[in-house]
Amino acid sequence: MGFADLRKEYMQRGLDESDMDADPFRQFATWFDEARAASPVEPNAMALATVGADGRPSLRMVLLKGADERGFVFYTNYESRKGRELADMPWAALTFFWPEMERQIRIEGRVEPVSAEESDAYFHSRPIGSQLSASASHQSEVIAGREELEQRVAALSAQYHDQEIPRPENWGGFRVIPDAIEFWQGRANRLHDRLRYRLLASGGWQIERLSP
């Protein structure tokens, strides 16, 4: 079968303005809870798009680790490619896709680091193995082989045996502070529903319907 023959018809439901909460963060929470019930395997997985100082974009999957009226939080190595790009160009786009519900959410906005206290709290909530991996990995850098990485982990494991592992200074969270959040619902014949919340200068949100 060729790519052109791959096709799925979206038939589950529609999306009307009357269905939407006036607050996009409450609407996100509603959809996320429904996605978690429908798709229990990492419903918090999201595509993160950044752009370098040279204008070249990059995209990868990360995990949402916090969401409230302040924005959407994920954690990474600040010296990774995405970390360097966000330092140069502090704007990003996120996309969640939940095929079981025929839904996606797109988020755009500026990005800022979370506080050191927030990063510390999340780092020490992670399994010890994940803490060691974050400490050992020089994310996005070329390495000679996997053995090099495993040796770093083993050395750190021995160094911090029965001790708290300190959060690396180059590891922590970013918060995407949105100025646009779009809720997409698949519909038949590709006539999809798209409702976008756009942040106004007054601080309120305006809901707009976009053509599919």
Q: Average pLDDT, stretch 71-88?
A: 97
Binned at pLDDT 50, 70 and 90, residue 48 comes out as very high
Long-range contacts of 51-55 (CB under 8 A, 24+ apart): 51/85, 51/89, 51/91, 52/81, 52/84, 52/85, 52/88, 52/89, 53/85, 53/88, 53/89
**Is the confidence at residue 1, as pLDDT, over 70?**
no
pLDDT, tens digit (0-9, with 9 covering 90-100), for 6-37: 878 888 889 999 999 999 999 999 999 999 99
pLDDT given at position 10: 85
Token duo for residue 24: 């996009």
**Is the confidence at residue 99, as pLDDT, over 90?**
yes
pLDDT given at position 3: 87
Q: Average pLDDT, stretch 178-195?
A: 97
Can 70 be counted among the known catalytic residues?
Answer: no
**Is the confidence at residue 190, as pLDDT, over 70?**
yes
| Of 26, 60, 70, 190, catalytic | 190
- CA 27 – CA 40 distance, rounded (Å): 19
For the entire predicted model, the pTM comes to 0.93
Binned at pLDDT 50, 70 and 90, residue 193 comes out as very high
| Domain spans of the chain, in order of start | 10-123+169-210
Give CATH superfamily name and number for 10-123+169-210: Electron Transport, Fmn-binding Protein; Chain A (2.30.110.10)
pLDDT, tens digit (0-9, with 9 covering 90-100), for 53-69: 999 999 999 999 999 99
CA atoms within 13 A on the CB side of 126: 20
In the three-class reduction of DSSP (H, G, I as helix; E, B as strand; rest coil), residue 125 is classed as helix
